[in-house]
Structure 1
Amino acid sequence: MRAWRKAPPVLHTVIMSNSIGAGSGTNQASSGARPGGASRPRRPAMLSPREADEISGDIDPGLRGEIAHTTAAAIVDRARASEDPEVVERLVRLVEDEGLDVVAGLWADSPADTLPGALWRMYVLREWVRRDPSTVADRYRLGIDAAPVPNVVAGVVTPPGPDDVRAVADAVLSGVFAGDLAVALERAGAFCRVLATGAAFDADHVETLDALYATRMTRGAASLVRTAEELEHAAGLWRADRLD
């Protein structure tokens, strides 16, 4: 069982700041409101920064799940209600500033059909792009013409360079906090589908030279397709007011 890690300071700031929304997090930016003006389900009680920091060692899976849902709902609801570009930028850079293991401690165990699970997948995708933009750009170029998504949905210029894919990854994640969250999830899913197609083509190209590496890339492509499906499903749940 993973040991609990302290919530990063930026989450404490967003969750607890009086300047970013108020109350139970039912306020939303109008561009991302759920269909029909439906109100959000009631959220679990909020932990204070001190209470979160004092949790150490192995914790009950139910409590970990409650913390995951609470933090995910808080940062999404309140960041969107604040409409503050600086808050959005800080949240986009969360993994970069705090470390992937810190965010993993919050959300990595969450199912794909939950808000924290969807956020985790979005952050992992963005971190991959940030760390290896050249490979991502190459895979995108290989996959865009054959992937079953419109280029405009994935949102990358053609042909893309490393800076282009980084910019799109940031823009897609920004949409979680300052746009239509369902569209952001769908764009991330489309991006994954293009990369999966490119990885499959790349695997075919290197199979005669390195069969083991080709097999690993093929498995990676399958994983990207699965992630795309999960993100697209999460988008549908958000529109149905069922992504919690």
Structure 2
Amino acid sequence: MPEFSKPSMPGAALFESLPGGDDPAERSAAGHRIANLLVRGAHDPQDQVFVDRVLHLADAEGLGVIAELWSQAPAQTVSGALWRLYVLRTWVYRNPLQAAREFAAGKAYAPVQEVLAGVVDPPGPDEVITLVDTVVRGILAPDFDIALDRAAAFAHIVGVGRSQSEDGDPASAARLMDTARQLRAAAEAERRGDLH
């Protein structure tokens, strides 16, 4: 995705709040735990305290601090799916005009995906941002698979639009299509009960 730079590494505040601190395996395990708690919810008071600390950190430092923990996760895991949602949302916020333009260009080639994505016609920057926010808000709902499907449809359409554009970048269009496939596979795994 052009003009997208990887978020900065999590700050010391996050690592101080996690057992194991700077150990990469501990960070990965913490990221996995956070992702599952955010999607599945807390089931005991100790988990709720942890979720509250995570959400406070996200409010104070930004979601990128937490999302970085998910950056190395396999695509068909909860944390890997959340990383892909985070990257897609960050790109749309940084480039809403480009996202709207590429979505508009791609929807003619992917009408079924357009229905799944759910962007109003014509899609302007505000509509694209609203879609992405709606998808991300869906991660806390029991229909996480639907949120993943919608994000996959959006990434697919934008990837097609980018590939059709005269100044489009074929490599980044292909990466968007890969992201769409990964999100779709994660949604299918979620429906089977295999997304962990």
Q: TM-score, normalised by structure 1?
A: 0.65
SS in 1 for 2:112: coil
What residue is the counterpart of 1:153 in the other structure?
116
Amino acid corresponding to residue 238 of structure 1 in structure 2 = E
Residue 149 (structure 2) pairs with residue 186 (structure 1): yes
Equivalent in 59, 62, 69 of residue 98 of structure 1: 62
Aligned-pair RMSD on alpha carbons?
A: 2.9
CA distance in 1, matches of 2:128, 2:9: 34
Residue 177 (structure 2) pairs with residue 177 (structure 1): no
**Pairing of 1:189-200 with structure 2 (within 5 A):** 189-200=152-163
Equivalent in 182, 188, 191 of residue 239 of structure 1: 191
**Pairing of 1:52-201 with structure 2 (within 5 A):** 52=18, 55-56=21-22, 59-61=23-25, 63-78=26-41, 94=58, 98=62, 100=64, 102-147=65-110, 149-201=112-164
- Which deviations, in whole Å up to 9, do the C-alpha atoms of 1:95-142 show, x marking residues without a partner? 996153x13431101110110000010011111111110000000110
Which ranges of 4 or more aligned residues in structure 1 deviate by more than 6 Å? none
**Pairing of 1:40-55 with structure 2 (within 5 A):** 51-52=17-18, 55=21
What residue is the counterpart of 1:219 in the other structure?
171
CA distance in 2, matches of 1:74, 1:53: 16
What residue is the counterpart of 2:180 in the other structure?
228
Is the 2:67–2:82 Cα contact (8 Å) retained in structure 1?
A: no
| Greater helix content | 2
CA distance in 2, matches of 1:75, 1:225: 26
CA distance in 1, matches of 2:163, 2:39: 34
- Which deviations, in whole Å up to 9, do the C-alpha atoms of 1:167-223 show, x marking residues without a partner? 000001111112411011011000001000100011xx23xxxxxxx5xx1101000
Is the 2:20–2:27 Cα contact (8 Å) retained in structure 1?
A: no
Q: TM-score, normalised by structure 2?
A: 0.80
Identity of aligned residues (%): 37
CA distance in 2, matches of 1:164, 1:4: 30
Q: Which structure has the bigger radius of gyration?
A: 1
The count of residues paired between Structure 1 and Structure 2 equals 178
Q: CA deviation at 1:67?
A: 1.2
